[in-house]
Amino acid sequence: MERTQLSAIVLDLLEKETGETYDALDDSTTLNEGLGLDSLDMAGLILHIESHFGIQIETELLDKIKNIGQILDTLEEKIATKEGKLAFLDFGMMSETPETARYAIIDHVVH
């Protein structure tokens, strides 16, 4: 999904959450000062985003999100991972897996 599409969806979810109408979102627009979101608005927006995209945004990431660009960056990363465009195996953990299972896992992921 392209960033402009993500931005349009976030704008729609933001408007549903707050009941306000906003102009097109800019990456540098801050959530607190720029959009006037309080912690309750932010929590609601994140819940809408998670529900809409079927993802989970960890608390550690939430603490770092201060503007629209950071929300979009997080979404791009989460969606890419969910769609399988970006994936990696921890081969350190694979050493504890039986050899036949290890090859089956690798074969499944690679093909």
Question: Percent of the chain beyond pLDDT 90?
Answer: 50
63-103 pLDDT, tens digit each: 899 999 999 999 998 887 665 554 445 556 666 667 777 67
Does position 41 have pLDDT exceeding 70, yes or no? Answer: yes
Dist. CA 70–CA 54, nearest whole Å: 18
Q: What is the largest CA-CA distance in the chain?
A: 57
Amino acid at the residue 19: G
Lowest mean pLDDT across 5-14, 35-44, 78-87, 93-102: 78-87
Is this prediction's pTM over 0.75?
A: no
Q: How many CB atoms lie within 10 A of CB 17?
A: 19
Q: How many CB atoms lie within 10 A of CB 84?
A: 8
Helices 68-82 & 39-53, crossing angle to 10 degrees? 30
Residue 82: what pLDDT?
65
Residue 23: what pLDDT?
84
pLDDT, the chain, mean:
83
Going from the C-alpha of 58 to that of each of 55, 83, 87, 97, 99, the distances in angstroms are 10, 18, 18, 28, 33
